[in-house]
Amino acid sequence: MTGRILVTPRSLSRDGHPALSALTARGYKLVMPAPGAIPDERTLLDTVPGCVGWLAGIEPVSAAVIAAALRLRVISRNGTGIDNLPLDALQARRIRLFKAEGTNARGVAELALALTLAGLRRLVWTHEGMRTGAWPRSLGREIAGARIAVIGLGAVGTAYARMCLDLGARVAGHDPFAPDDRLSAPGVRCATLEAALAGAEVVSLHAPMPAGGRPVLTDARIAALAPGAVVVNTARAGLVDGPALLAALDAGRIACYATDVFDTEPPAPSPLLAHPRVVLTSHIGGFTDASVDRCTVRAVDNLLAGLEPADAD
């Protein structure tokens, strides 16, 4: 086979990956227009014409980019999120879309757990205080017995919930779209969104953006949490009402907001992100050696299955 494959995930365009050799071995030419960076629309418009396949990352993709992709037949995401893609435009063009389901779930869930523990034990500001010569000793909280709300019970949310259960937490999960076997996972109390959040000491977000783009964690729902709650977001920045969360942090009603996701990357400075009780990580949830390996292998396999269905049987 011949043709061009657009490769835009930052980890792959910067460092490459052995799994990509399966594409070059089939005669495809790999095109990496923004090594180590998220390509902008102009870069995509300049590069996508002539490409038959696209190994895609989290970069925003407009309908105009899809309109310019006259030969494009398959997009394979090296992850699960697809809200950066114009789904109507893909459907209209009959461009096949694949996701690497569940491949980075362990990595993201482990980061969510690490952020949860950092918030409960005030690790970051204790560390920063000691670096300035102080001796801060804030009273922390244990995860055992804590009430944790898990919003979204896909592969990541389920893995996180099980980790919390193993540490003795009490877990309430909410996901109107999860299958019954996941909703009945041992130890997870399934609830409406309001019931899951009521009195929760930790909230961990693992859901896609709702239709219409409205935040899930609104001012009223933040107010329903336990005083001094920890909010963890490894899913979508827009799931949280930023001004409402900032007000809750200022008032001391929220003890910590820990996030791995932002509206733009790198994020623009803001009062929320500069708040002393906000913990920031640079979208590294699925950026582990094992997660990248699983994700890339699955994404390449999916791309080949879409481009060469007869050979994939």
124 Cβ contact list (under 8 Å, min separation 6): 118, 279
Would residue 174 show up in a list of annotated catalytic residues for this protein? Answer: no
Task: Determine the average pLDDT of the residues in 201-215.
Answer: 93
| Pair 220, 254 in one domain | yes
Cβ burial of 167 (10 Å; 0-12, 13-18, 19+) is: middle
Count other Cβ atoms within 10 Å, centred on residue 223: 11
Higher pLDDT, 86 or 177: 86
| Pair 185, 227 in one domain | yes
Would residue 201 show up in a list of annotated catalytic residues for this protein? Answer: no
| Pair 127, 110 in one domain | yes
Distance CA 258, CA 115 (A): 6
- Residue 6 region by backbone torsions, left for phi larger than 0, else alpha for psi between -120 and 50, else beta: beta
Task: Provide the number of structural domains found in the chain.
Answer: 2
Judged against a pLDDT cut of 50, whether residue 45 lies above it is answered with yes
Look up residue 20 and give its two tokens: 């990509």
| Pair 158, 263 in one domain | yes
pLDDT (tens digit per residue) in 68-127: 999 999 999 999 889 899 999 999 999 999 999 999 999 999 999 999 999 999 999 999
| Pair 117, 53 in one domain | no
| Pair 43, 136 in one domain | no
Look up residue 168 and give its two tokens: 């003795």
Q: What integer pLDDT is reported at residue 311 of this predicted model?
A: 46
Catalytic residue among 141, 170, 277, 283: 283
Judged against a pLDDT cut of 80, whether residue 247 lies above it is answered with yes
Judged against a pLDDT cut of 80, whether residue 183 lies above it is answered with no
* Distance separating the N- and C-terminal Cα atoms of the chain: 16
pLDDT (tens digit per residue) in 1-21: 679 999 999 989 998 999 999
| Pair 266, 299 in one domain | no
In degrees, rounded to 5, the angle at the alpha carbon of residue 170 between the alpha carbons of residues 253 and 79 is: 85
pLDDT (tens digit per residue) in 258-280: 999 999 999 999 999 999 999 99
143 with 165: CB under 8 angstroms?
Answer: no
Higher pLDDT, 311 or 71: 71
Q: What integer pLDDT is reported at residue 313 of this predicted model?
A: 38
Q: What integer pLDDT is reported at residue 241 of this predicted model?
A: 98
| Pair 255, 109 in one domain | yes
Catalytic residue among 106, 236, 294, 298: 236
- H-helix or E-strand spanning residue 307: helix 289-307
- Picking from 49, 52, 61, 47, the residue whose alpha carbon sits closest to that of residue 1 is 52
Full domain range(s) for residue 159: 105-280
Kindly state the percentage of the chain with pLDDT values over 90.
88
Catalytic residue among 265, 275, 277, 308: 265
Distance CA 129, CA 108 (A): 28
- What separation in angstroms does the CA of 36 have from each of 15, 243, 283, 286? 8, 32, 13, 16
Would residue 236 show up in a list of annotated catalytic residues for this protein? Answer: yes
Q: What integer pLDDT is reported at residue 184 of this predicted model?
A: 52
Reported pTM: 0.91
- Residue length, the chain? 313
Position 169 confidence tier, pLDDT thresholds 50, 70, 90: very high
Q: What integer pLDDT is reported at residue 42 of this predicted model?
A: 97
Tell me the CATH number at 9: 3.40.50.720
Averaged pLDDT of the chain: 94
| Pair 294, 204 in one domain | no
